[in-house]
Chains A and B, each alone.
Chain A
Amino acid sequence: MKVVSQSIDKLDAMALVTGKPVYTNDIAPQNCLIVKVLRSPHAYAKILSIKTDTALKVPGIACILTYKDVPNKRFTMAGQSYPEPSPYDRLILDQYVRYVGDPVAIVAGDSEKAVQKALKLIKAEYEVFKPILDPEEAIDNNTVIHTEEDYHVNFDIGNDVKRNICCSGGFESGNVDEAFEKCDVIVDEVYHTKANNQAMMETFITYTHMDYNGRLNIVSSTQIPFHVRRIAARALDIPKAKVRVIKPRIGGGFGAKQTVVSELFPAIVTLKTGKPAKMIFDRYETFAASTSRHEMKIRAKVGSDKDGNIKAIHITTLSNTGAYGEHGPTTVGLSGHKTMPLYNKAGAFKFEFQVVYTNTMSAGAFRGYGATQGAFALESAINELAAKLNMDPTILRQKNLLEEGEVLTAYHGETLRSCTLNSCINKGKELIKWDEKYPYKRISDHKVRAVGTAITMQGSGIAGIDIASVQIRLNDDGYYTLLVGATDMGTGCDTILGQMAAECLECDMDKIVVNGVDTDQSPYDTGSYASSTTYVTGMSVIKACKKLRDQMLTEASKILKVEKDTLEFDGQKIYNEEKSITLDKLAQELVVGDGNYLMASASHSSPYSPPPFMAGFVEIELDTETGQITVIDYFGIVDCGTPINPKLARIQVEGGIAQGIGMALCEDITYTELGKMKNNSFMQYKIPSRRDVGNIKVAFESSYEPTGPFGAKSIGEVVINTPPPAVAHAVYNAAGVNIRSLPITSEKILKGIMAKR
């Protein structure tokens, strides 16, 4: 292949490294009204009265909106395909506030100072209720978080809102109870993963204006322009045809921007005032008034015979969706369905789950989307099982690993068509020198170096639901425009989709112009989430290019007056043994007189979501006197099918591992007793700096996925999952302490060491 599998520079690279104005706030007009939100100081309360008259007198204030001024039409902010699985439990502003940070009033004015002043002059009176902050106390609590009569779910998700249950369900295959009875060794533990913040460098930013056709234009840093269009139309109670959404360059998303966070506030201001408006979330709001990773308590029970043949796995997940149900019903499934299938030979699987409301900030989408939480639980349990069996955990895994050709009962019955996980483990062991270093080496009287490991899987898009469309056009100089609805949020998907088009049309990258996303122009795409762009949108690129080639041959045969099936296209010209026309000439002919400007569109939705795989290996240094832990090396060995752009794939792996290390060691959202988030800035919520991640090293063991473009699967999410269980494993190997609650802090390690003494 000439273009695919090449490490081509990102199309936007030089604009980004020279600081060009390409992000939402760089291109927003100067005359935008500044929009800010008054936020609830209470975790759960009813607004009794709001006085805005004094605030309205502040010079420069254009409008102040309260719950009385917004459409009474409930919606979910989660960006998911219709009919959304997340409950309709939100209003833009509601009389009830359900977490500290819930919006109470929207203020818009000419300057930030005026708006800040007006915010302070709004007087709200509340009836304050006792909040629920612990998910384990949510079900059947005297406090009920959603009492509204128009609360709505689109289909049966096991919802029981009067009991604070957002969603519940389960799955069983084989007879788990019988299988456990026959097991010689069983591990049965509860693992606790915490809420984390995506912490992309660009906060939530949106500007809105009315265009010359009287339509609301929303320019926003979002992963889901088409979902924003649908959700905004519903929330604002205006026709979808009146909404246009544009996505410029995005300063990172990681799932945070798979939810409508900042869009509706300036949108309603623009609708009410007719003026352009801009909302910039500061970092505090980005932490405390958006969506986080779902906190989960996961009981993992795993049993095997004495030789380490795993016979049964039972996962029970309690997920905390916070005050609203965004992504609640969907993330939880991955904690079982994207963990258990790794040990497909077990034969008996059971998965039960409950997702509950609490008065904490709503959870949402964050890279890994439940699989990350599940991986910490099940992979930790597998490592504990290996310890009980007195067996090398890599050997225990390899003994029970899923294999190509198997039907994955716990993964929706999909057949596994591509998998090199076994080689990933072998390669990782070789790279880290596992056999030499496992389990630990003492390097001084109080310092130990130890290794740890975990494996993981994810999916590639959402099977049978999400859809991606592209259009490719042949322009008059013989170059192409590829219109995509997928959103490049820094990942480079514009570039890799362009590479696929160039490969199909046998041209250089400079012949492909990639354009996205404007919902008025781009073809529909559900958006960039669920590891979908390469696998799902990639296939629509291949389909569209095939159609375009066919159209080009048809037109060339008319011009050359030869049979179409004698013609071939080599990227430069269309020819047979006798006649030939260059692409430039053909393209030129097609835009003159009775020509036919060529455009080909295609959509793709896959009935499969083939899992990518990764084996993670970590070496840590642990100070057994202080509990201080340092990551020395982290090896990630990945099967993502064919890497379309190896260097961009590698960066995905490195970045995902660094985020996973943050989750493993330090990232933790906690609340005060009154429900106020403590970790609402980079002061209190530490993400890894370049001194905290050790040396991250990446290798690929590529398989070939027959249902993917050029054999590709996904890469974006699978890479974040292994660090928490691998680091926990290394800590066990260093100090004999099992840490089952994230993050794995020095304090927890030291307490464990002291308890052992």
Chain B
Amino acid sequence: MQIKCYINNRLFNEVIEPDMLLIDFLRHTGFTSVKRGCDTANCGLCTVWVNEKTVLSCSVLAASVNGKHITTLEGVEDEAIAFGKFVADEGAEQCGYCSPGFIMSVLSMKRELNDPTEEEIKHYLSGNLCRCTGYMGQLRAIKKFLQQGKDGA
């Protein structure tokens, strides 16, 4: 079947199998930041945005994004760098494999939540697993990143 969608604001017109998952579609089209970490929608590694809302791309059919706008980490590189500097400053990227999905969720949280508490941050991101860091360095990076946003405003 044929689908037409925008990935990172670029139009794609592709022929796909009807049962193709969005994660495989994105990796196949070259957006390899999107990672697969499980088969059960538990890990959050494959998080992308569809029309600005976070989804697990392993749990969405590529066919269902016809006509929609998809954003991967490649599409928000400036923001990824802005936040990523705080992550690197904590040494909290470690193996980096969960970073793309995690960062997509953090950037989404920044859009959705105004001045979130520590508990709200943990709650929002609880679906993004990380096995390396113990999460504390990520939390420190998020707090500094959000604080900087405020200072700039």
Partner-B contacts on A (CB < 8 A): 7, 9-10, 12-23, 25-26, 198-203, 249-252, 254, 282-284, 489-492, 645, 647-648, 650-651, 653-659, 681-683, 687, 689-691, 693, 695-696
Which has the most chain B C-beta neighbours within 10 Å: A18, A695, A696?
A: A18
Q: What residues on A are CB-neighbors of B126 within 8 Å?
A: 689-691
Q: Answer yes or no: B131 CB below 8 A from chain A CBs.
A: yes
Provide 24 A-B residue pairs closer than 8 Å at the C-beta atoms, listed in order of the A residue: A9-B89, A17-B84, A18-B81, A18-B84, A19-B33, A19-B74, A19-B80, A19-B99, A19-B103, A23-B35, A200-B97, A202-B95, A651-B92, A651-B137, A654-B133, A654-B137, A657-B134, A659-B131, A682-B38, A682-B43, A683-B40, A689-B129, A690-B125, A693-B134
Check if A201 sits within 8 Å of B89, measured CB to CB: no
Check if B97 sits within 8 Å of A23, measured CB to CB: yes
Q: What residues on A are CB-neighbors of B94 within 8 Å?
A: 252, 490-492, 651, 655
Check if B81 sits within 8 Å of A14, measured CB to CB: yes
Which has the most chain B C-beta neighbours within 10 Å: A251, A252, A650, A695?
A: A251
Q: What residues on B are CB-neighbors of A9 within 8 Å?
A: 88-89, 91
B11 CB, nearest partner CB in chain A, Å: 21
B130 CB, nearest partner CB in chain A, Å: 7
- Per DSSP, chain B at the interface is loop
Interface residues of B in 102-133 (CB under 8 A from A): 103, 122-123, 125-133
Which has the most chain A C-beta neighbours within 10 Å: B73, B89, B93, B96?
A: B96
Q: Answer yes or no: B49 CB below 8 A from chain A CBs.
A: no
A748 CB, nearest partner CB in chain B, Å: 24
Check if B38 sits within 8 Å of A17, measured CB to CB: no
| Closest residue on chain B to residue A683 by CB atoms | B40
Interface residues of B in 24-70 (CB under 8 A from A): 32-35, 37-40, 42-43, 45
Check if B132 sits within 8 Å of A283, measured CB to CB: no
Interface residues of B in 11-32 (CB under 8 A from A): 32
Check if A656 sits within 8 Å of B134, measured CB to CB: yes
A661 CB, nearest partner CB in chain B, Å: 8
Check if B38 sits within 8 Å of A687, measured CB to CB: no
CA distance A656 to B136 in the complex (A): 12
Q: What residues on A are CB-neighbors of B93 within 8 Å?
A: 10, 13, 16-17
Q: Answer yes or no: B71 CB below 8 A from chain A CBs.
A: no
Check if B81 sits within 8 Å of A201, measured CB to CB: no
CA distance A650 to B94 in the complex (A): 12
| Closest residue on chain B to residue A695 by CB atoms | B136
Q: What residues on A are CB-neighbors of B37 within 8 Å?
A: 201-203, 283
Check if B88 sits within 8 Å of A17, measured CB to CB: yes
Check if A19 sits within 8 Å of B88, measured CB to CB: no
A646 CB, nearest partner CB in chain B, Å: 9
Please give 4 more A-B residue pairs, beta carbons under 8 A apart, in addition to A17-B96, A201-B45. A18-B80, A201-B95, A650-B91, A655-B132
Q: What residues on A are CB-neighbors of B81 within 8 Å?
A: 14, 17-18
CA distance A249 to B93 in the complex (A): 13
Check if B99 sits within 8 Å of A690, measured CB to CB: no
Check if B97 sits within 8 Å of A647, measured CB to CB: no
| Closest residue on chain A to residue B137 by CB atoms | A651
Check if A251 sits within 8 Å of B97, measured CB to CB: yes
Check if B73 sits within 8 Å of A18, measured CB to CB: yes
Q: What residues on B are CB-neighbors of A489 within 8 Å?
A: 95
| Closest residue on chain B to residue A111 by CB atoms | B17
Check if A490 sits within 8 Å of B95, measured CB to CB: yes
B43 CB, nearest partner CB in chain A, Å: 6
Interface size on B, residues (CB 8 A): 52
Of A18, A645, A657, A689, the contact of B91 (CB 8 Å cutoff): A645
Partner-A contacts on B (CB < 8 A): 32-35, 37-40, 42-43, 45, 72-74, 77, 80-81, 83-85, 87-100, 103, 122-123, 125-139
Check if A647 sits within 8 Å of B91, measured CB to CB: yes
Check if A681 sits within 8 Å of B42, measured CB to CB: yes
Check if B88 sits within 8 Å of A10, measured CB to CB: yes
Check if B133 sits within 8 Å of A651, measured CB to CB: yes
A750 CB, nearest partner CB in chain B, Å: 25
Q: What residues on B are CB-neighbors of A283 within 8 Å?
A: 37-40
With A9-B89, A10-B93 as given contacts, are A201 and B40 in contact (CB-CB < 8 Å)? no
Of B33, B40, B88, B97, the contact of A13 (CB 8 Å cutoff): B88
B17 CB, nearest partner CB in chain A, Å: 8
Check if B74 sits within 8 Å of A690, measured CB to CB: no
Number of inter-chain CB pairs below 8 Å:
171
B29 CB, nearest partner CB in chain A, Å: 12
| Closest residue on chain B to residue A285 by CB atoms | B39
Check if B83 sits within 8 Å of A252, measured CB to CB: no
**Closest 7 A/B residue pairs (Cβ):** A19-B33, A490-B95, A16-B96, A17-B84, A251-B97, A658-B134, A654-B134
CA distance A200 to B130 in the complex (A): 8
B78 CB, nearest partner CB in chain A, Å: 10
Q: What residues on B are CB-neighbors of A18 within 8 Å?
A: 33, 73-74, 77, 80-81, 84
Check if B138 sits within 8 Å of A690, measured CB to CB: yes
Q: What residues on B are CB-neighbors of A653 within 8 Å?
A: 134
CA distance A23 to B34 in the complex (A): 12
A496 CB, nearest partner CB in chain B, Å: 11
CA distance A18 to B37 in the complex (A): 18
Q: What residues on B are CB-neighbors of A25 within 8 Å?
A: 32
CA distance A608 to B139 in the complex (A): 38
Check if A10 sits within 8 Å of B98, measured CB to CB: no
| Closest residue on chain A to residue B121 by CB atoms | A690
Q: What residues on B are CB-neighbors of A650 within 8 Å?
A: 91, 137
| Closest residue on chain B to residue A646 by CB atoms | B91
Q: What residues on A are CB-neighbors of B74 within 8 Å?
A: 18-19
CA distance A704 to B134 in the complex (A): 27
A738 CB, nearest partner CB in chain B, Å: 27
| Closest residue on chain B to residue A492 by CB atoms | B91
A487 CB, nearest partner CB in chain B, Å: 12
Q: What residues on B are CB-neighbors of A10 within 8 Å?
A: 88, 91, 93
Q: What residues on B are CB-neighbors of A22 within 8 Å?
A: 96
Q: What residues on A are CB-neighbors of B43 within 8 Å?
A: 201, 682
| Closest residue on chain A to residue B24 by CB atoms | A112
A370 CB, nearest partner CB in chain B, Å: 20
B107 CB, nearest partner CB in chain A, Å: 12
With A284-B39, A681-B42, A683-B40 as given contacts, are A201 and B131 in contact (CB-CB < 8 Å)? yes
With A201-B95, A201-B129, A202-B97 as given contacts, are A17 and B134 in contact (CB-CB < 8 Å)? no
| Closest residue on chain B to residue A13 by CB atoms | B88
CA distance A246 to B78 in the complex (A): 31
Q: What residues on A are CB-neighbors of B42 within 8 Å?
A: 681-683
| Closest residue on chain B to residue A648 by CB atoms | B91
A697 CB, nearest partner CB in chain B, Å: 8
B116 CB, nearest partner CB in chain A, Å: 13
Check if A687 sits within 8 Å of B83, measured CB to CB: no
| Closest residue on chain B to residue A19 by CB atoms | B33
With A645-B91, A651-B92 as given contacts, are A19 and B139 in contact (CB-CB < 8 Å)? no
Check if B87 sits within 8 Å of A13, measured CB to CB: yes
CA distance A687 to B122 in the complex (A): 15
Of B90, B103, B135, the contact of A690 (CB 8 Å cutoff): B135
With A18-B81, A683-B42, A689-B126 as given contacts, are A651 and B99 in contact (CB-CB < 8 Å)? no
| Closest residue on chain B to residue A27 by CB atoms | B32
